Amino acid sequence: MAPLPEGHFIVIEGGDAGGKSTQVTRLVDRLRDSGRDAVATFEPGATEVGRVLRSVVLGENSELDPRAEALIIAADRAQHTAEVVRPALSRGMDVVSDRYIPSSLAYQGRARELGVDVIRRISGWATDWLEPDLVIVLDVPQKIAAERSAGRVTGGSGDRMENESVAFHAAVRQAYLDLAERFGWVLVDGSGDADEVSMRVWKAVTEHFGRSTV
Ligand code: TYD
């Protein structure tokens, strides 16, 4: 019997207000234009269970312990992987996700200082060790990210993560930069307008998979 078709699992990463969701949409459009079946998804909160978990993690008032935060995010990821990502991949679709395990390594492992290795094991178990084929990190200088989020939320009305300190967001950015080499993530310059960034993202994708297979 011929092997089942397998889609590509591509993850778009980066700090808050880095323009990820726009780039996820654009990448899915380009994949479809090139004849592939592709779907966009995101973490946290893409499933019915996940929506409840997301509101706990990002709700303004929750006094969440960092370990509880890490486990709730991992639970969201378990549900997302089982319900959305794996079924789509096994139908041969490309899956483009706005965040996945690298977010937990940067935010919980590094910025919350819980440790990258333990967070990796927790998320690995949660997803039954499903690894993405390609992780693209949109890197945006702190100043630009701060300006973008100021345009999106007005002082203090963001979610629990957006309201974290400048130092927290700087630690997240640094974590992505530090961990990219270790884990083989591709850094893409996320500054400039959406058209420019989407061209850089597409270049990274075609270079990774080879033009003929994308
Ligand atoms: P969201 O509003 O979905 O998007 P974004 O900031 O990416 O535009 O916010 C998700 C928040 O959850 C974001 O601040 C990062 C955080 N998060 C973690 O801390 N760990 C994780 O593993 C994931 C997936 C998200």
Nearest CA to ligand 1 atom 5: 16
Q: pLDDT grade, residue 6 (50/70/90)?
A: confident
Of 206, 203, 24, which Cα lies nearest the Cα of 97? 24
Q: Is the CB of 161 under 6 A from ligand 1?
A: yes
Rounded percentage of the chain residues whose pLDDT exceeds 70: 92
**Which residues, at least 6 apart from 175, have a Cβ–Cβ distance to it below 8 Å?**
105, 106, 107, 109, 110, 111
Side chain identity at residue 145, one-letter code = A
As a whole number of angstroms, the distance between CA 101 and CA 116 comes to 11
Per-residue pLDDT at 142: 81
Least confident interval from 49-58, 98-107, 139-148: 139-148
More reliable by pLDDT, 127 or 17: 127
Name which residue leads in pLDDT, 77 or 154: 77
Residue appearing with tokens 């997240």:
172
Cβ contact 94:38 at 8 Å: yes
Is the torsion defined by CA of 125, 130, 133, 136 positive or negative? negative
What's the confidence (pLDDT) of residue 106?
Answer: 98
Cβ(43) – ligand 1 distance below 6 Å: yes
Considering the chain, what is the average pLDDT of its residues? 92
Q: Does residue 64 have a pLDDT over 60?
A: yes
Ligand 1 pocket test: which of 103, 110, 173 has the largest number of ligand atoms within 8 Å of its C-beta? Answer: 103
